[in-house]
Structure 1
Amino acid sequence: MPADEATTRTNQLQFQNPVTRYPSIEPPPQHQDEPGLASEMAPQADIGEFSYTGTGRLTGRKALVTGGDSGIGAAVAIAFAREGADVAITYLSEEEQDAREVVRILVETGRNAVALPGDLTDVAFCREVVDHAAEQLGGLDILVNNAGKQVAVDSLENLTDSQIEQTYQTNILAMFRTSRAALTHLPPGSTIINTTSVEAYQPSPLLVDYASTKAAINNFTKGLSHQLADKGIRVNAVAPGPIWTPLQPSSGQPPEALPEFGHSTPIGRAGQPTELAPAYVFLASPESSYVIGATIHVNGGMPTP
């Protein structure tokens, strides 16, 4: 993936000022049809191809990352591979171009990479994709429920039933289904990591449906973590703040709001996808063995409960 002013070759282990690690980007007003492509974003996002250095923390592990073709999911998949894991990713067929790029990076890292196209709003796919991932990876011990739908709508009157249903199907109902399917495969020591959002705590009036699904994910994470704790399967979540991903220019934000995206955070800038990856690596690794039902906030300093 080409480097530009929004990427860095400074790895995440090097001492650096977080304020200036990345520039405070001012993306020009732009719009893509859903689900959006990383390759068409301006500027490009950093998913860690040049900046994430692994230390062997997930050697021998087998991971499935939903929505792994771009943004946070791509960054997590790359970080997992750099840490020694074999990785399967799900993505929509429209995202094939981005998925191929992520698979290229995973393969060049020297890990087994499995690409599984399909729609997580399809009940059967949620079950089948987990089975296929376990079969092709030779097992499964990490599930990252990351795929999401985010579309800004200015009023409840304009929020259609179709969008509400698709947002809930993608963001929370798919998590129930993939997690349930994964239990057949996950041995003690496995982890499930769910992507929630700062929107669960500070809901935008433009993202009423999206924010409510993220609050549901928080509750789902805590309840499931208690249910599975005595089985040795840990469930946790990561709550990103404003992160520059294809969700934003593909109706996740109004185009006119993009130049100021992330500027209101205490750190003064939007986050890059690779800045989320270490949180997922920590929650997937055995070093977090006593962390259960937790939410790690990666949001540039935005206050949360």
Structure 2
Amino acid sequence: MKITAATLKAAWASLPLLPLVARVALLHILQLSDAAEYLDLRSSLLVAVFRAMLVTSKPRSISDIQKFTTRDSGPQGSIWVSRYAAPPPPETGIRDALIDTVERLAGPRHSKSHRPPVPVPDLVDVEAEWTGYRAGAARNEPLPSMSERERYHGMMRECTTPTTILYLHGGAYYLCDPSTHRPTTKKLAKLTGGRCYSVRYRLAPQHPFPSALLDAFVSYFALLYPPPDAYHDPVQPEHLVIAGDSAGGNLALALLQLLMELRNQDAPILWHGELRQVPLPAGVAVNSPWLDMTQSAPTWEMGTPTPYDFLPKPETSTSPTRCCRTRWRRW
């Protein structure tokens, strides 16, 4: 196994967590922890480590945590990864449709209302990773040395079904990226025989709502109606599934709501010089989606999180999660 500088740096950064890991593992093995009834050992350790990262006596800046969670050591093993950036259309129709829909769903804004107007994000290149299962690759084998387009076609040669999953990663809207969720997208590709298109949407608080939703919407259209430089052929709606976890699950359902609203209006969108319809996907699959955006569920009133929840209570936490959740709660 090749030990890289990034691996050594990550190991060094993890040293302070060793006593915590040892204690949690021992209590779990002895069935003395509150979470042992609900979680396996690996999940218990992940919850403990996430809590330690999010709830600290010396809070870290959001940018530091973002750098930590978006560090990419490179794909290895039984996975295909082909990076692509969907260029924004020269027209603003797709953004206009999004803003108009959000404004309409938010209700009328009048002189006595304190609701601010919906921010209008820039239309930018939206990066994503095509991900597929790579059979026969050794555990630490790097990707073949070839262009991104060639890697895409290498992935496609191993796909056995037309299933395409538009994947939106979790991370409280301010953490992670497609690289952190490669184990998930690889597993989905293997199980379906298809491929995943994992979106690197813009993160808060640098890019507030609805930037991430716009990026997801652009990615959806890019799959259905490929830009001129795209690697892929048009994806048929009946072969397309939107998926996501945690905040990505929320984003997946927000995208579905947007698509349903636009579908009901039956208004085409100008996209790269062509008027395009807004079809619905074949389905949506979400894993532990963040749905309680108003923090109104009874569990928010508990003094401490449940034994199997790694998220701290925002009202009492010094974590950056509080900042980002408050920002998103406005909508």
Q: Which has the larger radius of gyration?
A: 2
TM-score (structure 2 length as normaliser): 0.33
After TM superposition, the score normalised by the length of structure 1 is 0.35
